Structure formats: structure tokens, C-alpha cells
Amino acid sequence: MNRSPAKNVGRLILDYRSRTQTVNRPCDVFINHRGVDTKRSVAGLLYNHLTRLRLHPFLDSKSMKPGDKLFEKIDSAIRNCKVGVAVFSPHYCESYFCLHELALIMETKRKVIPIFCDVKPSELRVMDYGICPAKDLQRFSWALEEAKHTVGLTFDSLTGDWSDLVATASDSVIRNLIEVEEEQRYRCK
């Protein structure tokens, strides 16, 4: 079936509008993760599953476009989200961005769901490589300790079931979103 070029362009414009309108909507869930460890596994799978559930998750690789200012876009998404998911992994604490995002999630008092993927909470430490200001190191250490003392999910990628993890994490996100929305409704009364 051949379509006219005008119909193809029109379809492309409508498709673009529907995607950009979704991108501009405040996110329900901010997924904080270390890309090299989890973007193609738990973070990506969780993003896709939450999207299919008609939620609006934020995942940097899916929610940002070329030209976006990193800190501006990410910080705005965190400040406007209702729930944060922190996916901890072996290289998580090596990333300034991961620790900055976690600190902002904690400072803004968002509900957070930790997922400890291939790492135990006791193994997570902020390292001082001499390039990070002392004030940031203190923020990061505080946020990491708060997350380590929050009930979360643990997962071993060698023996665990990915679909169970995604389902359990999604259920936790939904329960927390409902709780946050009920608290907001109660405060408005």
C-alpha cells in the first residue's frame, strides 16, 4: 500500500507531537541508575514496564534529547517526580551523577525504592578521589546512608528472575505512588 508523501509527513508530525507531549509531562517515577551496569537490564526493563502501565517514568536515555542541559533536565525531573527508584550496582558510587541524583531525591524528601542489584548495601561507599568538593561528599554520604537504611529489593543477576524483579519493583512503585497521592489529597483537605 503506497501512501502519499503528505500523509507520511502528517503521520510523522503526529507521532512526534505525541512523543514530545509525553516527554514534557512531569514524571511519576525517577529511575536513578548507573548506566554501564543497569541501563540495558533492570533500569531499562523497569522503564519499559512502567511505561506500558501508562505511568510516566524518567530514564535519562529515554527521556532526554540532544541539546537538553543535563543538570537542568534531571534536577527538574527529580523535583517534580513523586517516587524515586535508586538502582544500586557495583559501579554506582563511582558516578558523580548517580550520587548527585540520589542526594537530590533524598533532600527533596521523595519516597525512594532502593534496588540492590549485584551489590549489598554494606558494600556501597562514597569514595573521595580528590576531585569532588567536601560539601558534595558529605551530601552524597548522607544520601547513601539514608538509602541503605530504607527497605528495598535485592537482586542477584546470576540467579534471579528478571521478570519477578520487574514485577515486584513495579508493584512497589505503584503502592508508593498511591500512598503519595493519598497524602497529597489529605493535605489539600
Indicate which residues carry an active-site annotation: 101
Beta carbons of 58 and 30 less than 8 angstroms apart = yes
**Rounded Cα gap, residues 132 and 69, in angstroms:** 21
DSSP H or E run through 84: strand 83-88
Using left for φ > 0, alpha for ψ between -120 and 50, and beta otherwise, residue 26 falls in beta
Residue 99: what are its φ and ψ, rounded to 5°? -70, -35
